[in-house]
Chain A
C-alpha cells in the first residue's frame, strides 16, 4: 500500500466505496420485504406488490446494459432509447445555451466597459436573476405557443445570468496596464476588445459559462417533465408513471454522467484559456 501513489489510493478507495455502497443497497432490499412494514412511499411506488419496490443495483445494472447496448431505438412516442432522449435534451440545452451566450457575452462586455451601462442595467439584472427559470414556463408557453421552443427559452433565461455577470465582472477587472499597452500601440476599440480584453477576461467568462451549463442541465430535466414529449426529463417522469423504478434510477445516473461530461468539457476550455500573471 505504501508504494501506491495518492491517485491510485484515491481510485482504490472510490471503487471500495462503490462496492460497499452497492452491497448495502442490495442487501437492504430483501430485509425491507421481510419486515413487511412498508412506508407510505413504498406503498405508493408499488412496494406492497410482490417483486415491486426499490430495485437492487444488480437490476439497475441489467437495465443499463439493456439500454446502453441499444441506445437509439425508436418504438413510438413512449418508447425511445436513452440515447435519443439524452440527444433531445442536449440539443435543447445547447440551443438555449448558445443563444444565451450570443447575447450575454457582448452585453457583458458593454456592461463591463461602461459604468453607466452597468448602473442602468443592474436593477433589471438583480430582479430577473433570482427568478426560478421554471416560473417563466407558463408565460413562455403562452407567448411562444410551442412547447419545444418554450423549453429552449427556459434554458436561455437560466443560463444567461451567470454568463452576463461573469463577463461584466471579468471585463471590468482587466488590468489598466494591459489596456494601456493596447492604447500605446494605437489599437482600435474592436481590436483592443479581441486581442487584449477578451483573452484577459476569458478565464472569468469561461467560469461563468461553466456555471451556466451546469444550471442549464439542472433545469432541462424539470422543464422536460413539464413540457413532455421527449428528453431525459420526460423519460424520468414517464418511467415513474410506468412505475419502472429501475429505469428511473438508471436515467438519474445517466443525467449525472451527461452533466459531468458537459462540465468537464468546460473544464478543459477553462484550462485552455487560463494564464498566470
Chain B
C-alpha cells in the first residue's frame, strides 16, 4: 500500500498509473490510513480543509470550507461534531473524517488501507454503507485492502486475492457479479453471494497457503467469474473499485 501511495520505494519493478510511473506521494492518489492519521491539533473540519486547501490552492477560504462541510455531511458528520478535535470523537467518527478528507480531495485513485480494521462490527457496517453512498456520488476509483470477506463482496467490483507471504502475489481476480446498488441485508439473498463467498473462503483457507512462495506462478492472475443467475454480463466500463483481500 505504501508503494502504491508512493510513500515507499519498491525493491524492484515500478508502479504505473495512467501510463506514468509513480515516483512519490501525490494528490492524485488519496490515502485513508488504518489508524485514521488525523492531525490531533486540528478540528474535524480543519482536518478536511487541510487536504482540500492543498488540493485546490486556487480556491477561496469560503469555498474550501463549503466543499469540506459537504463531504463531512456525506459521511454523516454535521453540526457541532465537525468542530471537535479527533480526541473528542469516537473511532468510527474519526474514520469518517478520514474518509471525508480523502474523498473531498477527489483524487484519481483512492487507496484505503484496512480502513475499518480497528472498528467494531456495528460501526463498521454503518460506515461501509456511508462509504458506498459517498462513492456512488463520485464514482471514484477505489483500491482497498481488507481481511473481511463480506466487506469485500459488499463493496468491490473485483477482488484481487493474494497468496501468503513470503513472495506474496496476486493469484486470482474474482469478479463480483452482484448488481449495484447493493444493500448488506439484501445481497446475502442473491444466488451469487454464497457461491462467491465460498470460493473466497476456500482460497484463503487452503489455496493461498499452497500457492505461497511460488515465484514462478502465473504472471497475470487468472480471472474468475462466478455467476449463477445467467444474466448478461455487466461489462460496463465504469471505473471499478478494486479490492484486494489479503490473508495474513
Is A5 part of the contact surface with B, judged by Cβ < 8 Å?
A: no
**Those 7 A-B pairs whose CB atoms lie nearest each other, nearest first:** A276-B87, A185-B54, A275-B41, A183-B25, A177-B37, A184-B25, A275-B40
Residue of B nearest to A175 (CB): B37
Chain B contact patch, size range: 20 to 34
Of the candidates A180, A186, A195, A202, the one whose C-beta lies within 8 Å of that of B33 is A180
A228 to B51, CA, bound (A): 56
Is A229 part of the contact surface with B, judged by Cβ < 8 Å?
A: no
Residue of A nearest to B102 (CB): A184
Q: Are A199 and B39 in contact (CB under 8 A)?
A: yes
Q: Are B54 and A183 in contact (CB under 8 A)?
A: no
Interface residues as binary, B68-85 with A (CB distance below 8 Å gives 1, 0 otherwise): 000000000000000001
Q: Are B40 and A181 in contact (CB under 8 A)?
A: no
Is B196 part of the contact surface with A, judged by Cβ < 8 Å?
A: no
Is A277 part of the contact surface with B, judged by Cβ < 8 Å?
A: yes
Known: A275-B85, A276-B87. A186 touches B25 (CB 8 A): yes
Chain A contact patch, size range: 10 to 19
A4 to B41, CA, bound (A): 36
Q: Are B41 and A185 in contact (CB under 8 A)?
A: no
Residue of A nearest to B34 (CB): A177
A240 to chain B, nearest CB (A): 48
Q: Are A184 and B29 in contact (CB under 8 A)?
A: yes
User: Which residues from chain B sit less than 8 Å from chain A, CB to CB?
Assistant: 5-7, 24-27, 29-31, 33, 35, 37, 39-42, 50-51, 54-55, 85, 87, 105
Q: Are A185 and B85 in contact (CB under 8 A)?
A: no
Is A178 part of the contact surface with B, judged by Cβ < 8 Å?
A: yes
Residues A184-204 near B (CB distance < 8 A): 184-187, 195-196, 199-200, 202
Of the candidates A178, A202, A277, the one whose C-beta lies within 8 Å of that of B87 is A277
Of the candidates B29, B37, B50, the one whose C-beta lies within 8 Å of that of A180 is B37
Of the candidates B30, B37, B41, the one whose C-beta lies within 8 Å of that of A199 is B41
Identify 8 residue pairs between A and B in the complex whose beta-carbon atoms are under 8 Å apart, listed by A's number.
A177-B37, A184-B5, A184-B26, A186-B25, A186-B27, A187-B54, A195-B50, A275-B40
Q: Are B7 and A186 in contact (CB under 8 A)?
A: no
Q: Are A184 and B31 in contact (CB under 8 A)?
A: yes
Of the candidates B6, B25, B37, B55, the one whose C-beta lies within 8 Å of that of A178 is B37
A204 to B13, CA, bound (A): 41
Of the candidates A178, A273, A276, the one whose C-beta lies within 8 Å of that of B85 is A276
Of the candidates A184, A187, A275, the one whose C-beta lies within 8 Å of that of B7 is A184
B65 to chain A, nearest CB (A): 17
A245 to B105, CA, bound (A): 70
A273 to B41, CA, bound (A): 8
